[in-house]
Structure formats: C-alpha cells, structure tokens
Amino acid sequence: MALEVGVKAPEFTAECDSGETVKLSDLRGKVVVLYFYPKDDTPGCTQEACAFRDLKSRFEEAGAVIYGVSRDDVRSHAKFRDKHGLNFPLISDPDGQICQAYDVLKEKNMYGRKTLGIERTTYVIDADGVIAAVFPKVKVDGHAEEVLAKVREIAG
C-alpha cells in the first residue's frame, strides 16, 4: 500500500545518534517531521540538515519534532551531528527496514551501475500518528521552509 496522506504512519523503533531508542508511538501528541536523506556529510544532505537545524525553534513553536533518517550507522550520525551542530536526532536504519516501510528505497543509476538508495523524501505525521503530508523527490533549496509552512497549517 502506498504511503499517502490519511494513512497511518508505519511504526518503528530505532537507535539514534545519541544512542537513545526512538519509537514512533512514543511521539503521539506531537507533529513529527521524518525526513529521509541518502548519506551523512554529503553536500545536499548537509545543506538539508542545516536548514532544519536553523529552523528547529520555529518547528518547536508549531509543536513539531524533527528526525532525520538514513542508513548510516550511529557513529557516522554522531560525527555528522557534531561537525554541523545539528540539534535534532538522526535515526540509524542500517538494514533499511524503516526506509522500506516508508517506501523511500529506490533504484538509482550511478555511472551506469544500478544501486538501491534512499530517495530524499519527507513525511509529516500528525499528532495521531497519521501521515498529514508527503514531500517526495525533495529538492533541498527551500525545502525546510516548505515543510515548516505545512506543519503550521496542520497545527492550526
């Protein structure tokens, strides 16, 4: 089943950069911004992470929490967080289970070689755990602002 607005967000439990475990059901009552990105410390992913970092207080004012998700391990996430002063958790999904549940693993063609990688995608999950917005094939410029506008709309 395609993940679209109005569908219950897939549950997950995963470790994040701090070593803490994040469970989606524990976040009920908050709007959750779940953004999937391909790789720690690459140019586009760094730009996207820093944009969310810079707007974090505005997301919080709107009642939202931000989580970044990639297949990098916790150690890589911690280095990425520290290098760029990221102020929100990065979820590690090394086996790709969360990525599969959220349908962001796509075949990519890199220099003639086909690989399975994360397609940059953001989900906004409402306080009841239902998908309220989907941003597929994200272009980094202006994306965090676009998500913030949606979060404010959802929060009413």
| CA–CA separation, 134 and 123 (whole Å) | 5
Question: Coil, strand, or helix at residue 8?
Answer: strand
Is 37 within 8 Å of 47 (Cβ atoms)? no
Residue 50, H or E segment: helix 43-61
Q: Residue 1 above 70 pLDDT?
A: no
* Percentage of the chain exceeding pLDDT 90: 88
Q: What is the mean pLDDT of the chain?
A: 94
Active site residues: 45
Question: Coil, strand, or helix at residue 6?
Answer: coil
Query: φ and ψ at 42, to 5 degrees?
Result: -100, 160
What is residue 98's DSSP assignment? H
Average pLDDT over residues 60-73: 96
Average pLDDT over residues 54-64: 96
Model confidence band, residue 2 (pLDDT cutoffs 50, 70, 90):
low
What pLDDT is attached to residue 21? Answer: 96
* Chain segment 3-56, per-residue pLDDT in tens: 899 999 999 999 999 999 999 999 999 999 999 999 999 999 999 999 999 999
* 153-to-30, 80, 87, 111 alpha-carbon distances in Å: 14, 31, 23, 41
**C-alpha of 130 from chain center:** 15
* Chain segment 68-84, per-residue pLDDT in tens: 999 999 999 999 999 99
Sheet bearing 131-135, strands edge to edge: 90-92, 64-70, 31-36, 121-125, 131-135
Query: φ and ψ at 39, to 5 degrees?
Result: -160, 135
User: Hey, what domains does the chain have and what are their CATH numbers?
Assistant: 13-155 (3.40.30.10)
Query: φ and ψ at 103, to 5 degrees?
Result: 55, 45
